[in-house]
Amino acid sequence: MDGSPRWRILLCAPRGFCAGVDRAIQIVEEALERYGAPVYVRHEIVHNRYVVEGLKAKGAVFVEDLDEIPDTRQPVVFSAHGVPKSVPENAAARGLFFFDATCPLVSKVHKEAVLHHRRGREIVLVGHAGHPEVEGTMGQLPPGSVTLVQTPDDARSFEPANAENLAWATQTTLSVDDTAEIVKVLEDRFPSIVGPHKEDICYATTNRQEAVKAVAPRVDALIVVGAPNSSNSQRLREVAERAGCPRAVLVQRAADIDWADFEDARTIGLTAGASAPEVLVEEIIDAFAEKGGVEVELVRTATETVTFNLPKSLREAAA
């Protein structure tokens, strides 16, 4: 060997935590700081096992349903993905003390859906069945008010009650290109359909996909650090493959790497989904360094400056 590093890593920027994830984690940590353990969290606060385990160690208790929470004065936190309207209503009826960590960009989609409904429009939601964000958005309105469309074929076969009175919205973590294809089908079929004032797919999802598109054609393989149930992480893997990357893999952390995937690779792309902490990216760089040395090049396609305030009640408690 000539002493040069075995791998070159093209490190995507932006990557990792977005402002909504940052805020959600801060809400749980601040609630633990102010009120002590336990703090109950409905659903994984963000889709990342490392983050969830870290918060558990500090005293967070994760549940899937409010029924699992005993009668208590300890805080309850709703996850960043958003919840159906029935959840805060049930929490209030039980006298639970709760903080809503829903990402403000998801809350924007909720408000738009409610406004369309008030104006008598039938709503088409582009998203993935079973994802908590989709369940939260559909749960803002009475059953039957929202139709979920997952593919261009779904958009082609969708039959509205009134083709002249429609609106569309999307999950915030989708593939930008896939969504554009579905929306085009809807707009071609229903020219009067009303879209959001500002794109529903969030800035962080868009920016992370753009960074991957810039890197994907230049690498032999690409790693996305993220959880299998993280929509935005799965979309990064798909975007990489479509943008010309021969092999894109999703791993939760360094221990999950199948080194056979990188045996013949010389240049590797590395990014992280919006709920994956930077420490896991560093862990993967260290693992490659130990196996044969690395040279890291940062590939930046955007600079993010977005931040979101904590809920007013928590800011007041902190003050």
Task: Set out the domains of the chain in order of their start, with CATH numbers.
Answer: 7-17+203-300 (3.40.1010.20), 19-103 (3.40.50.11270), 105-189 (3.40.1010.20)
Asked whether 167 and 116 are in contact (CB, 8 A), the reply is yes
State the Cα–Cα distance between residues 64 and 41, nearest whole angstrom.
8
Q: What is the pLDDT of residue 197?
A: 87
pLDDT band at 317 (very low <50, low <70, confident <90, very high): low
Q: Are strands 97-100 and 75-78 parallel, antiparallel or unpaired?
A: parallel
pLDDT band at 316 (very low <50, low <70, confident <90, very high): confident
For residue 145, how many C-alpha atoms fall within 13 Å in the half-sphere facing its CB?
19
Residue partners of 213: CB distance under 8 A and separation at least 6? 239, 243
Q: What is the pLDDT of residue 136?
A: 98
Residue partners of 57: CB distance under 8 A and separation at least 6? none
| Mean per-residue pLDDT over the chain, rounded | 96
Q: What is the DSSP letter of 74?
A: S
pLDDT band at 28 (very low <50, low <70, confident <90, very high): very high
Nearest to 187 by CA among 156, 208, 227: 156
Percent of the chain residues past pLDDT 70, beyond the cut: 98
Total-model pTM: 0.94
Q: What is the pLDDT of residue 314?
A: 87
Positions marked catalytic: 133
pLDDT band at 309 (very low <50, low <70, confident <90, very high): very high
Q: Residue 2 pLDDT > 80, yes or no?
A: no
Phi and psi dihedrals of 303, rounded to 5?
Answer: -120, 130
Tell me the torsion sign for CA atoms 52, 53, 54, 60.
Answer: positive
Hey, what are 290's tokens?
Answer: 């130990």
Q: Residue 40 pLDDT > 70, yes or no?
A: yes
Averaged pLDDT, 233-262: 97
Q: At what angle do helices 49-58 and 19-35 cross, to 10 degrees?
A: 10
